[in-house]
Structure 1
Amino acid sequence: MFEQERIYIAGPECFYKNGYTMLAAMRRYAESQGFGVTLPNDHPLDMDNPDLQKRADCIFADLKRAIKETTVIIADLEAYRGSEADSGTIYEIGMAYANGIRCYGYTRDKRPLAWKDQQYFIRDKQVYNEKKQPAPYFDLPFSPTIVGSTKIIQGDFFDCLKVLMADLEEEWKAEGRRGNGKFPQNSSKPDQTSEKCIRMTGEGSSGRPIVYLADLVRYEEGAGQIYEKRKELCRRYGLEALTPLDLAQGREWVQSPNRYTQAADLTENYLELIRECDAVVADLNNYRGYECANDVGFECGVGLELKKKLFGYMQDTRPCIEKIPHLGEEAEYRDMTGSNVENFNYPANLMFACSMKIYESKFEAAIKQVAESLNAEKCNEEGSR
C-alpha cells in the first residue's frame, strides 16, 4: 500500500564505523513494507577525484536530486559531536520542510534539554547554559525549528516507520470518510516550491536586497536592541535585514502558552521570512559542540529549497579535519565516538560548504562582503537587460 511513498533516510550514520550496515538494515525493512527508499550517497559518486572539494560537491548534488524524489524524510535526531543533532541532518530537514515533504525524526530521549544537558544550571529561578546566558529552549527536547517542523518519535528508525505507516493508514481512511475519492497529498502544506508560492523578491521597498539573519542572537538578552543595530549596519552597506524576531508579512503571532504551539508558530514565521528575502546570512560558528546551531542549519536548508542565495561566516575556516580532534589517518580520521571527520578540505559540514560562500569573519565583515556580492550581481543583471 505504500508504493507511492519514497523515504529519504537522514542521519550521521554514514560517518559511523558500522553505519552503512545500519542504513542497509533500515532500508531492507522499509522496502519490505512496500516503501521506496533513498539513502545518503545512494548513487555512484565521483569519490576518486583528486580535488577533495569536488567529491563533496558531488555528494551534495546527489542529495539535491534525491530530495526532489522524496515524499517522507525520517531523520536520526541523536546528539552528534555535541548536545545537538547533526547539523547536516537538520539542513536536510529544512530542505524537506520547504518542499512540503513529511518530516519525521527519532530519538532515544525526548525529554526537555533541561534534563539532558548537564552543563545547564539554575539561578534565581532562571535556567542558564554553559556560557552563563539564559538557556534557549531548555524546556523543549530540540530547537524550535525541529519541534515545529518534525514529528518526533521516542525510539529508533523502526518505531518511527511504524508511526508513519499508521499515520498514512489513518489519512487514507479519512479520505474515504470524506468521500472525495482523492489520494491524500504528502503533506497538508501547499507545494512550497511552486511558482505561485515562491516570491523571488529581488529588492525590498527601499530598492535594497533583503537578507535574513540566521543566527543565535534571537536567544540573547537584549536581542531586539542587538538586531536593530545589525539592521542599521546592513542599511549602511546597502542591504535591508530581516531577523528571527520579525513578523512575516500577513502573519500574526499565535497566542498560546503551549511551547509546542509556539515552536510551530516560530518555524512557520521563519519560513515566511526566508521567503521574503533574497539571501540568508548564516552564523556557522560552533554551538554546543563542533557544528552550528540546529535552528541555523534548518534555515539554511529552507533557504536552499526556496532558491535563496546562501552566505555563511565563522571565525575559523580551517578544514574540518584540522579543527575536530581525531585519531589520525591510520584510524580513518575517526573521532572519540568512532565517527569519521569529514575530509573534503571544507571548513564546515558539506551541506553548508557546498551551498554557500563561507567567510572567515565576524558579522560586520561578512555583511560587507555579502553586500558587495549581491550588489555586484544586481549591477550585472541590470547591465544585461
Structure 2
Amino acid sequence: MIKDENIYIAGPACFYERGNELWDSWKKEAIYYGFGVSLPNDAKLDFDPDDKKSLSAAIFKNCYDSIKASTGIIANFETYRGAEPDGGTIYEVGMAYGRGLKCYGYTRDKRPIGVKYQSGRYVGDTLLDLDGRQLPDLKLPFSACLVGACKIVEGSFSDALKVYMLDIEEESKRKAMHLKAEIAIPDQTIPRSGRPIVYLATLERYSDQAAEKYAAMKEVLDRYGFDAIAPSDLAPGVEDLATDDVYARAYNLFDRYQQHVRNCDIILADLSDYHGYEPNSDVAFECGMANSLGKKMFAYMDDVRPMIERIPNSGEPGGFRDINGMNVENFEAPLNLMFGASMELFGGAFEDVVRQMAASLKK
C-alpha cells in the first residue's frame, strides 16, 4: 500500500457529460492503492450566487488549496478544442511543478506534434501553422515545458497511476541504498537593477524573427520603467545545450523557461488561441508556475469576449455545450477560470497592454 502520497487529479473531466462520475472512479482507484486524493470539487464553495466571478474565484481557491495539499499531480493531456491540451489543466501542472510536486501526464496519442497537427504547411524546409508561425518541437508529443516537467505516459489514468506507484517503489529502494538524490530548487540567477523584471511568456518564441520581435517589445517595456526577459534569452545558470537529442533539447529549453519564471517579478503572458480555442501549453504552464511562486501576473488576448461568445456552443437551453459535448464555461471571462481568477487580462495592441499593466501596478 502507498503511504503519505496525495494525488491531485487534473483534467477537463468536469466539462464532460457525467464527468464527475469519471473523476469519482479515478479517485476510488487511487484510494484503493493507498493514495490520498484531491479534486477541485472536494470542498464546499464559498461564493456570491449572483456573481459569476465570485464563483470562479471560489473554484480557483479550491484548486489552489488542493494542489498545495498534494505531493503529486496526474493530468489529462488529451487535445481539447484543437491541437493543445486543456489550458486550465496545464496551468495546474505549472502550479504543481512550482510547488515541487511529482508531475505525471497521460494521453492516448503520444505521436509527435508534427504528425498530430494536421493543418501545417511547408514553406521550403520549414513547417508553418495556419498563422504562419514555425511549428516548434516537431518530434516531441507536447511542448517543451510539458516534456521537461512531466513523466508522460501513453495510455489512461490507470496507466499513469501505475507508473507513479513504480516510481515510489524505486524511490524507496534508493533511500534504502543511501542513494537518494537531493533536488535543489534553483534560485534567482540574474542581478537586480531596481526596476521590475517582466518575463514575456509569449508566442514570439516560435518565430524565426524572435530576436527582432522581442527587442521591439523590450523597448516598449523599457519606456514604461520595466526590464524584460524573453524565452529566447539565455538564462544565467542554464547551459545552452547543443544536441540532436530532441528530449534533451526539450528539457534544456524547459530549464531555461522555468529559470526565467523564477528570475522575473512579473509575468506578461499571451493567452491568445493557439491551434484551437486553448492557449499555448508552454505559456499556460509558465502562468501556473508563476502563480505558485507568487509572481505578479498579467495577460492579453486577441479576443477578450467571454467564452460563451468566443466558442461555438448550444447556448443556455443546451447547457452551453460545444460541438464535442463539452461544457463551455460561463464566468464572464474569455478563457478557463484558472487564468481568469488569477490574473488581469487585457486586450489591444502590445503598448496598450503594457500601459494598462503599468497603471494597474500603481494602484
1:80 paired to 2:67 = no
Deviation by residue 1:311-358 (Cα, 9 ceiling, x = unmatched): 011132221111111111121111111110001111221111111111
State the match for 1:90 in structure 2: 90
Gaps of 5+ in 2: none
Gaps of 5+ in 1: 378-385
Deviation by residue 1:119-163 (Cα, 9 ceiling, x = unmatched): 123343322222233222222111111111110000000000001
Q: What amino acid maps onto 2:351 in structure 1?
A: E
Identity %: 45
1:276 paired to 2:270 = no
Q: Distance in 2 between matches of 1:105 and 1:48?
A: 34
1:106 paired to 2:106 = yes
State the match for 2:183 in structure 1: 189
Q: CA deviation at 1:266?
A: 1.4
Is the partner of 1:178 in helix, strand or coil? coil
Q: What amino acid maps onto 2:234 in structure 1?
A: L
How do residues 284-295 of structure 1 correspond to structure 2 at under 5 angstroms? 284-295=271-282
Q: Distance in 2 between matches of 1:156 and 1:121?
A: 31
Q: Distance in 2 between matches of 1:133 and 1:266?
A: 18
Is the partner of 2:106 in helix, strand or coil? strand
Structure 1 residues 366 and 159: CA distance shift in structure 2, 3 A: same
Q: CA deviation at 1:268?
A: 1.7
CA contact (8 A) 1:100 1:189 kept: no
Q: CA deviation at 1:170?
A: 1.1
CA contact (8 A) 2:238 2:255 kept: no
1:353 paired to 2:347 = no
Structure 1 stretches of at least 4 aligned residues deviating more than 4 Å after TM superposition: none
1:235 paired to 2:222 = yes
Q: Distance in 1 between matches of 2:47 and 2:328?
A: 16
Structure 1 residues 47 and 22: CA distance shift in structure 2, 3 A: farther
User: Of residues 243, 247, 257 in structure 2, which corresponds to 1:256?
Assistant: 243
Q: What amino acid maps onto 1:56 in structure 2?
A: S
Structure 1 residues 159 and 125: CA distance shift in structure 2, 3 A: same
Q: Distance in 2 between matches of 1:356 and 1:212?
A: 14
CA contact (8 A) 2:299 2:346 kept: yes
Q: CA deviation at 1:52?
A: 0.5
CA contact (8 A) 2:71 2:101 kept: yes
1:370 paired to 2:351 = no
How do residues 209-228 of structure 1 correspond to structure 2 at under 5 angstroms? 209-228=196-215
Instruction: Please report the TM-score for the alignment, with normalisation by the length of structure 2.
Output: 0.95
Deviation by residue 1:194-241 (Cα, 9 ceiling, x = unmatched): xxx579x9x941x32110001010001210111111111111111111
Deviation by residue 1:78-128 (Cα, 9 ceiling, x = unmatched): 000111000000000101111111100000010101111111233433222
Is the partner of 2:247 in helix, strand or coil? helix
Q: CA deviation at 1:18?
A: 1.6
State the match for 1:296 in structure 2: 283
Q: Distance in 2 between matches of 1:247 and 1:315?
A: 28
User: Of residues 184, 195, 217 in structure 2, which corresponds to 1:208?
Assistant: 195
Q: CA deviation at 1:72?
A: 0.6
Is the partner of 2:251 in helix, strand or coil? helix
CA contact (8 A) 1:99 1:191 kept: no
CA contact (8 A) 2:144 2:250 kept: yes
State the match for 1:20 in structure 2: 20
Q: What amino acid maps onto 2:132 in structure 1?
A: K
Q: Distance in 2 between matches of 1:134 and 1:247?
A: 20
Which deviates the most, 28-37 or 247-256? 247-256
Q: Distance in 1 between matches of 2:69 and 2:222?
A: 40
Q: Distance in 1 between matches of 2:183 and 2:257?
A: 15
CA contact (8 A) 2:48 2:54 kept: no
Q: Distance in 2 between matches of 1:198 and 1:125?
A: 38
Which deviates the most, 121-130 or 356-365? 121-130
Q: CA deviation at 1:47?
A: 6.0
Structure 1 residues 11 and 129: CA distance shift in structure 2, 3 A: same
State the match for 1:382 in structure 2: none
1:50 paired to 2:50 = yes
Q: Distance in 2 between matches of 1:139 and 1:149?
A: 17
Deviation by residue 1:57-79 (Cα, 9 ceiling, x = unmatched): 00001111111111010000000
Structure 1 vs Structure 2 CA RMSD: 1.8
